[in-house]
Structure 1
Amino acid sequence: MWRIWWCVVVLSASVGIRAEQLALAMSTEAYKAFEHTQSMRLALEAFTLAGHNVTIKVVPGERALRLANSGELDGDLFRQPQAVSDFPHLIPVQVPIHKAKYYVYVFSNRECPLSIDDITRLKPIGLSGLKYFELVYAKSEVGFLQVDGMKLLTDSLRKRRADFTVAPIDLFGAYDKLDGAEDFKPCFEQPLFETQSYIYLHAKHQPLIPALEAALISLGLSYP
Protein backbone atom coordinates (compact mmCIF):
# COMPACT_ATOMS: atom_id res chain seq x y z
CA MET A 1 0.00 0.00 0.00
CA TRP A 2 2.84 2.41 0.82
CA ARG A 3 4.23 1.87 -2.67
CA ILE A 4 0.95 2.87 -4.30
CA TRP A 5 0.70 5.92 -2.02
CA TRP A 6 4.28 6.97 -2.85
CA CYS A 7 3.69 6.59 -6.60
CA VAL A 8 0.53 8.68 -6.39
CA VAL A 9 2.40 11.41 -4.52
CA VAL A 10 5.30 11.52 -6.99
CA LEU A 11 3.09 11.37 -10.06
CA SER A 12 0.86 14.09 -8.64
CA ALA A 13 3.91 16.28 -8.01
CA SER A 14 5.00 15.74 -11.61
CA VAL A 15 1.89 17.54 -12.85
CA GLY A 16 3.80 20.80 -12.40
CA ILE A 17 6.59 19.60 -14.70
CA ARG A 18 6.12 20.63 -18.30
CA ALA A 19 5.09 17.76 -20.57
CA GLU A 20 7.85 16.85 -23.00
CA GLN A 21 7.90 15.52 -26.54
CA LEU A 22 10.79 13.07 -26.28
CA ALA A 23 12.69 11.34 -29.08
CA LEU A 24 14.33 8.21 -27.71
CA ALA A 25 16.91 6.05 -29.45
CA MET A 26 16.81 2.29 -29.70
CA SER A 27 19.51 0.18 -31.27
CA THR A 28 18.40 -1.91 -34.23
CA GLU A 29 19.09 -5.09 -32.24
CA ALA A 30 17.08 -3.93 -29.23
CA TYR A 31 14.15 -2.84 -31.39
CA LYS A 32 13.97 -6.23 -33.10
CA ALA A 33 14.03 -7.96 -29.73
CA PHE A 34 11.56 -5.78 -27.82
CA GLU A 35 9.22 -4.13 -30.35
CA HIS A 36 6.18 -6.27 -29.52
CA THR A 37 6.97 -7.20 -25.91
CA GLN A 38 5.37 -6.46 -22.58
CA SER A 39 8.59 -4.69 -21.55
CA MET A 40 8.23 -2.19 -24.40
CA ARG A 41 4.56 -1.62 -23.62
CA LEU A 42 5.30 -0.89 -19.95
CA ALA A 43 8.20 1.44 -20.77
CA LEU A 44 6.07 3.53 -23.12
CA GLU A 45 3.11 3.49 -20.75
CA ALA A 46 5.34 4.88 -17.99
CA PHE A 47 6.12 7.92 -20.14
CA THR A 48 2.40 8.40 -20.78
CA LEU A 49 1.61 8.19 -17.06
CA ALA A 50 4.32 10.77 -16.38
CA GLY A 51 2.72 13.08 -18.96
CA HIS A 52 5.19 12.78 -21.85
CA ASN A 53 4.86 11.85 -25.52
CA VAL A 54 7.53 9.57 -26.99
CA THR A 55 8.76 8.75 -30.47
CA ILE A 56 11.27 5.97 -31.08
CA LYS A 57 14.22 6.45 -33.41
CA VAL A 58 15.80 3.13 -34.45
CA VAL A 59 19.54 3.65 -34.95
CA PRO A 60 22.30 1.08 -35.60
CA GLY A 61 24.39 -0.06 -32.64
CA GLU A 62 26.46 2.40 -30.65
CA ARG A 63 25.36 5.36 -32.76
CA ALA A 64 22.11 5.34 -30.77
CA LEU A 65 24.10 5.94 -27.58
CA ARG A 66 26.18 8.69 -29.17
CA LEU A 67 23.09 10.58 -30.34
CA ALA A 68 21.48 10.28 -26.92
CA ASN A 69 24.66 11.27 -25.08
CA SER A 70 25.12 14.35 -27.27
CA GLY A 71 21.55 15.49 -26.58
CA GLU A 72 20.54 15.23 -30.24
CA LEU A 73 18.11 12.59 -29.02
CA ASP A 74 16.60 12.67 -25.54
CA GLY A 75 17.59 9.23 -24.30
CA ASP A 76 18.01 5.56 -25.06
CA LEU A 77 15.79 2.55 -24.29
CA PHE A 78 16.77 -0.96 -23.19
CA ARG A 79 20.41 -0.37 -22.27
CA GLN A 80 22.53 -2.28 -19.80
CA PRO A 81 24.83 -0.29 -17.51
CA GLN A 82 28.05 -1.69 -18.96
CA ALA A 83 27.05 -0.35 -22.38
CA VAL A 84 26.67 3.21 -21.07
CA SER A 85 29.83 3.57 -19.00
CA ASP A 86 31.56 5.70 -21.65
CA PHE A 87 28.61 8.07 -22.09
CA PRO A 88 28.64 10.45 -19.11
CA HIS A 89 25.59 12.52 -20.06
CA LEU A 90 23.18 9.59 -19.86
CA ILE A 91 21.38 9.03 -16.55
CA PRO A 92 19.40 5.88 -15.74
CA VAL A 93 15.82 5.67 -14.63
CA GLN A 94 16.69 3.31 -11.78
CA VAL A 95 13.79 0.89 -12.19
CA PRO A 96 14.79 -1.79 -14.72
CA ILE A 97 12.41 -2.31 -17.61
CA HIS A 98 13.76 -5.73 -18.57
CA LYS A 99 15.67 -8.52 -16.85
CA ALA A 100 17.41 -11.13 -18.98
CA LYS A 101 19.12 -14.44 -18.34
CA TYR A 102 21.89 -15.27 -20.81
CA TYR A 103 22.42 -18.85 -21.94
CA VAL A 104 25.17 -20.74 -23.75
CA TYR A 105 24.30 -21.79 -27.32
CA VAL A 106 26.18 -24.09 -29.68
CA PHE A 107 25.60 -25.12 -33.27
CA SER A 108 22.86 -27.74 -33.35
CA ASN A 109 25.11 -30.58 -34.56
CA ARG A 110 27.81 -29.90 -31.93
CA GLU A 111 28.15 -31.40 -28.48
CA CYS A 112 27.58 -29.13 -25.52
CA PRO A 113 30.33 -28.77 -22.91
CA LEU A 114 29.95 -31.18 -19.99
CA SER A 115 29.50 -28.32 -17.54
CA ILE A 116 29.07 -24.59 -17.67
CA ASP A 117 32.51 -24.20 -16.07
CA ASP A 118 34.13 -25.85 -19.12
CA ILE A 119 33.41 -22.86 -21.35
CA THR A 120 36.56 -21.14 -20.03
CA ARG A 121 38.51 -23.52 -22.30
CA LEU A 122 36.34 -22.82 -25.34
CA LYS A 123 36.32 -19.86 -27.75
CA PRO A 124 33.19 -17.68 -27.67
CA ILE A 125 31.94 -15.61 -30.59
CA GLY A 126 29.97 -12.40 -30.22
CA LEU A 127 28.41 -9.57 -32.18
CA SER A 128 30.01 -6.14 -32.48
CA GLY A 129 28.12 -3.44 -30.62
CA LEU A 130 26.56 -5.72 -28.00
CA LYS A 131 28.40 -4.89 -24.80
CA TYR A 132 27.22 -7.90 -22.84
CA PHE A 133 29.62 -10.03 -24.88
CA GLU A 134 32.48 -8.41 -22.97
CA LEU A 135 31.27 -10.40 -19.95
CA VAL A 136 31.51 -13.54 -22.07
CA TYR A 137 34.95 -12.78 -23.48
CA ALA A 138 36.33 -12.16 -19.98
CA LYS A 139 35.55 -15.78 -19.03
CA SER A 140 37.59 -17.28 -21.88
CA GLU A 141 41.15 -18.54 -21.43
CA VAL A 142 41.63 -19.09 -25.18
CA GLY A 143 40.53 -15.78 -26.71
CA PHE A 144 37.36 -14.88 -28.58
CA LEU A 145 35.99 -13.95 -32.00
CA GLN A 146 33.82 -10.89 -32.72
CA VAL A 147 31.90 -10.36 -35.95
CA ASP A 148 29.42 -7.95 -37.53
CA GLY A 149 26.07 -9.60 -38.02
CA MET A 150 24.26 -12.84 -37.27
CA LYS A 151 25.13 -14.45 -40.61
CA LEU A 152 28.87 -14.15 -39.95
CA LEU A 153 28.36 -15.48 -36.43
CA THR A 154 26.45 -18.48 -37.77
CA ASP A 155 28.99 -19.19 -40.51
CA SER A 156 31.91 -18.95 -38.06
CA LEU A 157 30.34 -21.49 -35.71
CA ARG A 158 29.47 -23.77 -38.62
CA LYS A 159 33.12 -23.66 -39.77
CA ARG A 160 34.39 -24.24 -36.19
CA ARG A 161 36.18 -20.91 -35.96
CA ALA A 162 34.54 -20.55 -32.54
CA ASP A 163 32.78 -22.90 -30.15
CA PHE A 164 29.75 -21.16 -28.70
CA THR A 165 27.81 -17.94 -28.36
CA VAL A 166 25.64 -16.48 -25.59
CA ALA A 167 22.20 -14.87 -25.78
CA PRO A 168 19.03 -14.42 -23.74
CA ILE A 169 16.20 -16.63 -24.91
CA ASP A 170 13.95 -13.66 -25.73
CA LEU A 171 16.66 -11.91 -27.76
CA PHE A 172 17.57 -15.13 -29.55
CA GLY A 173 13.92 -15.51 -30.47
CA ALA A 174 14.12 -12.17 -32.26
CA TYR A 175 16.86 -13.59 -34.47
CA ASP A 176 14.63 -16.37 -35.79
CA LYS A 177 14.04 -14.32 -38.94
CA LEU A 178 17.79 -14.12 -39.62
CA ASP A 179 19.96 -16.59 -41.52
CA GLY A 180 20.85 -19.69 -39.54
CA ALA A 181 19.32 -18.76 -36.19
CA GLU A 182 17.34 -22.00 -36.18
CA ASP A 183 20.63 -23.94 -36.20
CA PHE A 184 21.40 -23.24 -32.53
CA LYS A 185 20.57 -25.14 -29.36
CA PRO A 186 20.93 -24.11 -25.69
CA CYS A 187 23.30 -26.13 -23.54
CA PHE A 188 22.39 -25.69 -19.89
CA GLU A 189 19.30 -25.04 -17.82
CA GLN A 190 21.11 -22.42 -15.75
CA PRO A 191 22.12 -19.09 -17.31
CA LEU A 192 25.72 -18.02 -17.63
CA PHE A 193 24.78 -14.64 -16.11
CA GLU A 194 21.89 -12.19 -15.72
CA THR A 195 21.57 -8.52 -16.67
CA GLN A 196 19.05 -5.72 -16.37
CA SER A 197 18.12 -3.08 -18.94
CA TYR A 198 17.04 0.49 -18.22
CA ILE A 199 15.69 3.68 -19.71
CA TYR A 200 18.47 6.27 -19.97
CA LEU A 201 17.77 9.99 -20.36
CA HIS A 202 20.09 12.82 -21.28
CA ALA A 203 21.16 14.80 -18.19
CA LYS A 204 19.05 17.77 -19.31
CA HIS A 205 15.98 15.64 -18.54
CA GLN A 206 17.05 14.57 -15.05
CA PRO A 207 14.00 16.28 -13.43
CA LEU A 208 11.76 13.82 -15.28
CA ILE A 209 13.30 10.73 -13.68
CA PRO A 210 11.46 10.54 -10.30
CA ALA A 211 8.05 10.57 -11.98
CA LEU A 212 9.16 7.92 -14.49
CA GLU A 213 10.44 5.71 -11.69
CA ALA A 214 7.13 6.13 -9.86
CA ALA A 215 5.20 5.32 -13.04
CA LEU A 216 7.20 2.13 -13.63
CA ILE A 217 6.64 1.03 -10.03
CA SER A 218 2.91 1.72 -10.35
CA LEU A 219 2.95 -0.65 -13.37
CA GLY A 220 4.37 -3.47 -11.26
CA LEU A 221 8.10 -3.09 -11.85
CA SER A 222 10.57 -2.62 -9.00
CA TYR A 223 14.01 -1.36 -8.07
CA PRO A 224 16.79 -3.97 -8.45
Structure 2
Amino acid sequence: MLTCLLFISPVDFAAEPQVLVLNDVNEPPFTTPEHTGFLDVIATEAFRRIGVELRLVKLPAERALLLTNNGLQDGDLTRIAGIEEQYPNLVRVPEKLIDWDFAAFSKEASIPANLEAIRHHSVGFIKGWKFYERNMAGAGRVTTVDDPEQLFRLLDRDRIEVALYARWMGLALIQKQGLKNIRPLEPPLASSAMYIYLNKRHTKLVPKLATALLTLKREGFYQRVYREKLLPYDKTTGW
Protein backbone atom coordinates (compact mmCIF):
# COMPACT_ATOMS: atom_id res chain seq x y z
CA MET A 1 0.00 0.00 0.00
CA LEU A 2 2.81 2.40 0.93
CA THR A 3 4.66 1.50 -2.25
CA CYS A 4 1.59 2.36 -4.29
CA LEU A 5 1.22 5.73 -2.62
CA LEU A 6 4.87 6.57 -3.18
CA PHE A 7 4.47 5.65 -6.83
CA ILE A 8 1.46 7.83 -7.62
CA SER A 9 2.30 10.89 -5.54
CA PRO A 10 4.88 12.41 -7.93
CA VAL A 11 2.42 12.14 -10.80
CA ASP A 12 -0.32 13.80 -8.78
CA PHE A 13 1.91 16.66 -7.72
CA ALA A 14 3.21 17.18 -11.25
CA ALA A 15 -0.35 17.50 -12.51
CA GLU A 16 -1.20 20.26 -10.06
CA PRO A 17 -1.10 23.75 -11.61
CA GLN A 18 1.69 26.05 -10.57
CA VAL A 19 0.54 29.11 -8.64
CA LEU A 20 2.18 32.53 -8.89
CA VAL A 21 1.32 35.43 -6.61
CA LEU A 22 1.73 38.87 -8.16
CA ASN A 23 1.21 42.24 -6.59
CA ASP A 24 -1.56 44.38 -8.03
CA VAL A 25 -1.54 48.16 -7.59
CA ASN A 26 -4.52 48.55 -9.89
CA GLU A 27 -8.12 49.47 -9.13
CA PRO A 28 -11.37 49.21 -11.15
CA PRO A 29 -11.81 48.98 -14.05
CA PHE A 30 -8.41 47.27 -14.40
CA THR A 31 -8.82 44.91 -11.44
CA THR A 32 -11.73 44.44 -9.05
CA PRO A 33 -12.33 42.58 -5.76
CA GLU A 34 -14.45 40.11 -7.77
CA HIS A 35 -11.57 39.59 -10.26
CA THR A 36 -13.73 40.77 -13.17
CA GLY A 37 -11.67 43.76 -14.30
CA PHE A 38 -9.89 44.12 -17.62
CA LEU A 39 -6.48 43.05 -16.34
CA ASP A 40 -8.02 40.35 -14.15
CA VAL A 41 -9.44 38.70 -17.26
CA ILE A 42 -6.46 39.24 -19.57
CA ALA A 43 -3.70 38.26 -17.14
CA THR A 44 -5.56 35.29 -15.70
CA GLU A 45 -6.16 33.90 -19.19
CA ALA A 46 -2.55 34.46 -20.26
CA PHE A 47 -1.24 32.64 -17.20
CA ARG A 48 -3.81 29.87 -17.61
CA ARG A 49 -2.55 29.21 -21.11
CA ILE A 50 0.94 28.49 -19.82
CA GLY A 51 -0.39 26.22 -17.08
CA VAL A 52 -0.06 28.67 -14.20
CA GLU A 53 -2.72 29.85 -11.78
CA LEU A 54 -2.50 33.59 -11.12
CA ARG A 55 -3.31 35.06 -7.75
CA LEU A 56 -3.26 38.80 -7.15
CA VAL A 57 -2.61 40.53 -3.85
CA LYS A 58 -2.54 44.20 -2.94
CA LEU A 59 0.46 45.67 -1.19
CA PRO A 60 1.82 49.23 -1.17
CA ALA A 61 3.65 49.85 -4.45
CA GLU A 62 7.13 50.41 -3.02
CA ARG A 63 6.92 47.53 -0.56
CA ALA A 64 5.77 45.18 -3.31
CA LEU A 65 8.80 45.98 -5.45
CA LEU A 66 11.15 45.29 -2.55
CA LEU A 67 9.45 41.99 -1.74
CA THR A 68 9.53 40.85 -5.36
CA ASN A 69 13.14 41.89 -5.78
CA ASN A 70 14.05 39.94 -2.65
CA GLY A 71 12.22 36.85 -3.91
CA LEU A 72 9.51 36.92 -1.25
CA GLN A 73 6.86 37.51 -3.91
CA ASP A 74 6.61 36.12 -7.44
CA GLY A 75 6.08 39.29 -9.42
CA ASP A 76 4.23 42.51 -10.12
CA LEU A 77 1.31 42.86 -12.51
CA THR A 78 1.94 46.32 -13.98
CA ARG A 79 5.16 48.31 -14.04
CA ILE A 80 6.85 50.62 -16.53
CA ALA A 81 9.83 49.38 -18.52
CA GLY A 82 13.21 49.96 -16.92
CA ILE A 83 12.25 49.21 -13.34
CA GLU A 84 14.77 46.36 -13.43
CA GLU A 85 17.58 48.94 -13.42
CA GLN A 86 16.71 49.75 -9.82
CA TYR A 87 15.49 46.25 -8.91
CA PRO A 88 17.91 43.86 -10.66
CA ASN A 89 16.13 40.65 -9.62
CA LEU A 90 13.04 41.54 -11.65
CA VAL A 91 12.59 40.25 -15.20
CA ARG A 92 10.21 41.96 -17.61
CA VAL A 93 7.77 40.05 -19.79
CA PRO A 94 8.51 41.81 -23.11
CA GLU A 95 4.97 41.78 -24.52
CA LYS A 96 3.16 44.74 -22.99
CA LEU A 97 0.08 44.16 -20.89
CA ILE A 98 -1.54 47.55 -21.47
CA ASP A 99 -0.84 51.19 -22.20
CA TRP A 100 -1.41 53.38 -19.17
CA ASP A 101 -2.39 57.01 -19.64
CA PHE A 102 -0.89 58.95 -16.76
CA ALA A 103 -3.33 61.75 -16.05
CA ALA A 104 -3.89 64.73 -13.79
CA PHE A 105 -7.27 65.26 -12.13
CA SER A 106 -8.47 68.57 -10.76
CA LYS A 107 -11.42 70.83 -10.04
CA GLU A 108 -9.65 73.60 -11.93
CA ALA A 109 -10.02 73.02 -15.65
CA SER A 110 -7.75 76.00 -16.39
CA ILE A 111 -4.62 74.21 -15.13
CA PRO A 112 -2.52 73.22 -18.16
CA ALA A 113 -2.21 69.48 -18.62
CA ASN A 114 1.55 69.28 -18.56
CA LEU A 115 3.98 68.23 -15.87
CA GLU A 116 5.94 71.49 -15.72
CA ALA A 117 2.81 73.57 -15.13
CA ILE A 118 1.49 71.12 -12.56
CA ARG A 119 4.71 71.38 -10.53
CA HIS A 120 3.64 74.92 -9.59
CA HIS A 121 0.46 73.66 -7.92
CA SER A 122 -0.15 71.54 -4.84
CA VAL A 123 -0.16 67.95 -6.05
CA GLY A 124 -0.64 64.48 -4.69
CA PHE A 125 0.18 60.99 -5.90
CA ILE A 126 0.53 57.45 -4.56
CA LYS A 127 3.78 56.37 -2.94
CA GLY A 128 5.88 54.12 -5.14
CA TRP A 129 4.60 55.42 -8.50
CA LYS A 130 7.99 55.94 -10.09
CA PHE A 131 6.77 58.06 -13.01
CA TYR A 132 5.40 60.71 -10.67
CA GLU A 133 8.26 60.41 -8.21
CA ARG A 134 10.71 61.29 -10.99
CA ASN A 135 8.66 64.08 -12.51
CA MET A 136 7.64 65.74 -9.26
CA ALA A 137 11.08 65.54 -7.63
CA GLY A 138 11.92 68.96 -6.21
CA ALA A 139 8.41 70.38 -6.65
CA GLY A 140 7.37 72.60 -3.76
CA ARG A 141 3.99 71.26 -2.63
CA VAL A 142 3.82 67.49 -2.94
CA THR A 143 1.78 65.07 -0.86
CA THR A 144 2.15 61.30 -1.15
CA VAL A 145 -0.56 58.89 -0.04
CA ASP A 146 -1.10 55.15 0.26
CA ASP A 147 -4.19 54.62 -1.88
CA PRO A 148 -6.36 56.28 -4.55
CA GLU A 149 -9.34 56.83 -2.26
CA GLN A 150 -7.16 58.92 0.03
CA LEU A 151 -5.73 60.77 -2.97
CA PHE A 152 -9.11 61.79 -4.37
CA ARG A 153 -10.44 62.60 -0.90
CA LEU A 154 -7.66 65.18 -0.55
CA LEU A 155 -8.62 66.64 -3.91
CA ASP A 156 -12.32 66.68 -3.12
CA ARG A 157 -11.63 68.50 0.17
CA ASP A 158 -9.34 71.05 -1.52
CA ARG A 159 -6.26 69.85 0.33
CA ILE A 160 -4.48 69.54 -3.02
CA GLU A 161 -5.16 71.13 -6.39
CA VAL A 162 -4.09 68.23 -8.60
CA ALA A 163 -4.23 64.46 -8.15
CA LEU A 164 -1.84 62.46 -10.30
CA TYR A 165 -3.13 59.02 -11.19
CA ALA A 166 -3.98 56.77 -14.16
CA ARG A 167 -6.78 57.92 -16.45
CA TRP A 168 -9.02 54.83 -16.61
CA MET A 169 -8.80 54.16 -12.91
CA GLY A 170 -9.42 57.79 -12.09
CA LEU A 171 -12.55 57.88 -14.25
CA ALA A 172 -13.89 54.76 -12.55
CA LEU A 173 -13.17 56.14 -9.08
CA ILE A 174 -14.90 59.44 -9.86
CA GLN A 175 -17.96 57.54 -11.03
CA LYS A 176 -17.94 55.19 -8.05
CA GLN A 177 -17.66 57.98 -5.49
CA GLY A 178 -19.99 60.38 -7.30
CA LEU A 179 -17.43 63.18 -7.44
CA LYS A 180 -19.14 65.84 -9.52
CA ASN A 181 -16.54 68.60 -9.74
CA ILE A 182 -13.40 66.57 -10.47
CA ARG A 183 -12.35 65.78 -13.99
CA PRO A 184 -9.23 64.76 -15.88
CA LEU A 185 -7.09 67.49 -17.38
CA GLU A 186 -6.71 66.83 -21.09
CA PRO A 187 -4.69 65.52 -22.78
CA PRO A 188 -3.10 62.83 -20.59
CA LEU A 189 0.34 63.73 -19.27
CA ALA A 190 1.99 60.69 -20.83
CA SER A 191 1.22 57.25 -22.15
CA SER A 192 3.44 54.37 -21.17
CA ALA A 193 3.43 50.68 -21.87
CA MET A 194 3.00 48.63 -18.71
CA TYR A 195 4.53 45.19 -18.31
CA ILE A 196 4.33 42.16 -16.07
CA TYR A 197 7.49 41.60 -14.05
CA LEU A 198 8.52 38.32 -12.48
CA ASN A 199 11.23 37.50 -10.01
CA LYS A 200 14.24 36.06 -11.83
CA ARG A 201 13.60 32.58 -10.44
CA HIS A 202 10.65 32.45 -12.86
CA THR A 203 12.70 33.53 -15.89
CA LYS A 204 11.77 30.37 -17.84
CA LEU A 205 8.13 31.47 -17.83
CA VAL A 206 8.84 34.87 -19.37
CA PRO A 207 8.91 33.89 -23.09
CA LYS A 208 5.90 31.62 -22.64
CA LEU A 209 3.88 34.37 -21.02
CA ALA A 210 4.90 36.87 -23.71
CA THR A 211 3.69 34.46 -26.39
CA ALA A 212 0.40 33.89 -24.56
CA LEU A 213 -0.29 37.65 -24.37
CA LEU A 214 0.53 38.10 -28.04
CA THR A 215 -1.80 35.24 -28.94
CA LEU A 216 -4.68 36.81 -27.00
CA LYS A 217 -4.24 39.97 -29.07
CA ARG A 218 -4.01 38.13 -32.39
CA GLU A 219 -7.14 36.14 -31.59
CA GLY A 220 -9.12 39.31 -30.80
CA PHE A 221 -9.73 38.18 -27.21
CA TYR A 222 -7.81 41.16 -25.84
CA GLN A 223 -9.75 43.68 -27.93
CA ARG A 224 -13.14 42.22 -26.99
CA VAL A 225 -12.39 42.43 -23.28
CA TYR A 226 -11.06 45.97 -23.73
CA ARG A 227 -14.31 47.11 -25.33
CA GLU A 228 -16.39 45.40 -22.66
CA LYS A 229 -14.47 46.47 -19.57
CA LEU A 230 -12.99 49.90 -20.36
CA LEU A 231 -14.85 51.78 -23.06
CA PRO A 232 -18.08 52.20 -21.04
CA TYR A 233 -16.27 54.60 -18.69
CA ASP A 234 -15.47 57.00 -21.50
CA LYS A 235 -19.10 56.87 -22.67
CA THR A 236 -20.53 57.77 -19.28
CA THR A 237 -18.26 60.64 -18.30
CA GLY A 238 -19.66 63.22 -20.70
CA TRP A 239 -16.27 64.94 -20.95
Return the offset for 1:25: 2.1
Contact 2:99 2:191 in 1 (8 A): yes
Return the offset for 1:142: 3.8
Structure-to-structure mapping, 1:1-224, within 5 angstroms: 21-27=18-24, 29-35=25-31, 36-81=36-81, 85-107=85-107, 110-113=108-111, 116=114, 118-138=117-137, 142-150=140-148, 152-158=150-156, 160-176=158-174, 181-188=179-186, 190-220=187-217
- What SS does the corresponding residue of 2:217 show, helix, strand or coil? coil
Q: Which amino acid aligns with 1:137?
A: M
| Whole-angstrom CA distance in 2 between matches of 1:51 and 1:171 | 29
Return the offset for 1:76: 1.7
| Whole-angstrom CA distance in 2 between matches of 1:79 and 1:114 | 26
Return the offset for 1:179: 5.9
Return the offset for 1:130: 2.6
Q: CA RMSD in A?
A: 3.1
- What SS does the corresponding residue of 1:216 show, helix, strand or coil? helix
| Whole-angstrom CA distance in 2 between matches of 1:216 and 1:175 | 27
Change (3 A) 1:145 1:211: same
| Whole-angstrom CA distance in 1 between matches of 2:205 and 2:128 | 28
Deviation larger for 56-65 or 88-97: 56-65
TM-score by length of structure 1 reads 0.72
Return the offset for 1:125: 1.6
Change (3 A) 1:165 1:211: same
Larger radius of gyration: 2
| Whole-angstrom CA distance in 2 between matches of 1:19 and 1:204 | 19
Change (3 A) 1:149 1:49: closer
Relative contact order, higher structure (CA 8 A, sep 6+): 1
Q: Which amino acid aligns with 1:87?
A: Y
- Provide the aligned length of Structure 1 versus Structure 2: 199
Percent of aligned pairs sharing the same letter: 25
TM-score by length of structure 2 reads 0.68
Contact 2:84 2:92 in 1 (8 A): no
Deviation larger for 191-200 or 173-182: 173-182
Aligned to 1:11: none
| Whole-angstrom CA distance in 2 between matches of 1:98 and 1:166 | 19
Change (3 A) 1:61 1:33: farther
Return the offset for 1:185: 1.2
Contact 1:25 1:57 in 2 (8 A): yes
Structure 2 spans left out of the alignment, 5+ residues:
1-14, 219-239
Change (3 A) 1:112 1:200: same
Change (3 A) 1:194 1:95: same
Change (3 A) 1:31 1:21: farther
- What SS does the corresponding residue of 1:63 show, helix, strand or coil? helix
Structure 1 spans left out of the alignment, 5+ residues:
1-17
Change (3 A) 1:42 1:148: closer
Contact 1:25 1:65 in 2 (8 A): no
Q: Which amino acid aligns with 2:26?
A: A
Contact 2:112 2:118 in 1 (8 A): no
Change (3 A) 1:19 1:171: same
Return the offset for 1:173: 3.4
